[in-house]
Amino acid sequence: MDELASIIIVTYNSRHYLDACLRSVLGQDYPHEVIVVDNCSQDGTVQYVRESFPEVKVIKSPINGGYGAGNNLGVHYAKGKYIAILNPDIIAGANWLQQLISPLQNNPKAIVTPKILLYDGSAINTCGNINNFTGLTFTRGLGADPITDYCHTDNVSGISGACFAIHREEYIRLGGFDENFFLYNEDADFSWRANLLGCSILSVPKSIIYHDYRLQVSPEKVYHLEKGRYLILRKYLSRGELFLLFPSLVVAESLTFGYAARFGLKGLRYKVSALYDGFTANVQKTTGDKKALMARLSPSIPEDQLTLNRVEWLGRVFANKVFQWNFRALR
C-alpha cells in the first residue's frame, strides 16, 4: 500500500453528480481510497454516499469552511502516499489515476494536473492554468480540440483546482490550501506558493477527465475572484514590487471593473467590496525563490481570452503591451 493514492472529493449539495463521479473513480485500476468531505450539504449527500458507496470514506465537516478547508480536512484523514484532488462534477476517464500518478513516482516535488475536457468531450476546458503576474488567472486551452491540441506533457504555471495530484508530504510542506480563500482562486494561490517554494507543475494530457464546466460569472463570483487576487498580490509581492507594478495593476483594475460593470450596480458593489476586503484582511507573507516564481508567471493575457468583440480584443492588445513592458521592469 506504499503507492496508495487518496482521492479527495469535497461536496456541497452535489449529490446529483456523485453517482457518475464515484463510479468512474472507483473503477480506476491504480490502488486508491476515496474520501468524500461534505461541507454541510442539505441535499442528503452524506446519507446517499454512505448507503450507495459503503467503500467510500465520508467525512462530515461541522462547518462549511470553503473548498480549500474541505480539502485540507480530507488530507488530514488520508492514508495515501499521493493526494488526488477532484471536483464532484467530474467523470474520470479510463486510466486517469495511473496516468496522473505516474510522473510523481520519480519526482517528489512535482504537482500534476490532467487534460480536463468539457462533460461531452467536445472541447478542452483546461490543461493547467495560466497565472498572470497581476494575479489574474486564465484557463489554458479553453475551447481547443481535445484530440489534436495540448497533447504533450508541459510545464505550466498553475494547477486547476478541479483536479490535480501531489505527494501528500509535499502538500503538507506547502501548507495545503490557504483557508482564507473560501471559494475560487485557492488553486491560483496554491500555484504561486508551489512555484515560489521550488515545485514544478506539469500538465499531463494522457490523464483525462470530463468536467461539467460552464463559463458562468455572477457578482458573487466576481467578489471571490477579485478578493482572492488581491490576497495573492499582498502575500507574494512586496510593497516595492507592487509600486513597480502600478501601471499593470491600473490596467488590470480597468479590465476587472469593466467586467463587473456588466452586472450593473450590484456587480460594482461586489467589486468594491472585494477591493476593500482583499486589502484589509490579515495575510501572512510567503517567502521563497522570487526569481523562480517570476520565471513561471505569465506576462500576458492569452490570445484565446477576451475575444467576444472588438472592444475586448483591443483591451487585451493594449493590456498586453503594458503588461509585457512592466513585467520586464519587475524582473
Chain position carrying cell 491600473? 250
pTM of the full structure: 0.95
Q: Is 176 inside any structural domain?
A: no
Q: What is the pLDDT of residues 194-253, one digit of tens each?
A: 999 999 999 999 999 999 988 778 999 999 999 999 999 999 999 999 999 999 999 999
Q: What is the pLDDT of residues 20-51, one digit of tens each?
A: 999 999 999 999 999 999 999 999 999 999 99
Report the alpha-carbon distance of residue 166 to residue 111 in Å, rounded: 5
How many of the other CB atoms lie within 10 Å of CB of 25? Answer: 23
Q: What is the pLDDT of residues 51-78, one digit of tens each?
A: 999 999 999 999 999 999 999 999 999 9
**Cα separations (Å) of 259 from 21, 135, 255, 312?**
33, 16, 6, 10
Amino acid (one-letter) located at 213 = Y
Beta bridge partners of 154: 203
Q: Is 108 inside any structural domain?
A: no
164's CB contacts (< 8 A; 6+ apart) are 84, 85, 111, 112, 113, 114, 187
- Write down the pLDDT at residue 2: 73
Q: Rounded to the nearest 5°, which phi and psi values hold at 254?
A: -60, -45
Q: Is 251 inside any structural domain?
A: yes
Q: Is 233 inside any structural domain?
A: yes
- Write down the pLDDT at residue 82: 98
Q: Is 85 inside any structural domain?
A: no
Q: Is 313 inside any structural domain?
A: yes
234: cell is 499582498
DSSP state at residue 104: G
Report the alpha-carbon distance of residue 192 to residue 298 in Å, rounded: 12
Report the alpha-carbon distance of residue 130 to residue 200 in Å, rounded: 14
Report the domain count for the chain.
Answer: 1
Owning domain of residue 234: 219-330
Q: Is 260 inside any structural domain?
A: yes
pLDDT band at 313 (very low <50, low <70, confident <90, very high): confident
Q: Is 11 inside any structural domain?
A: no
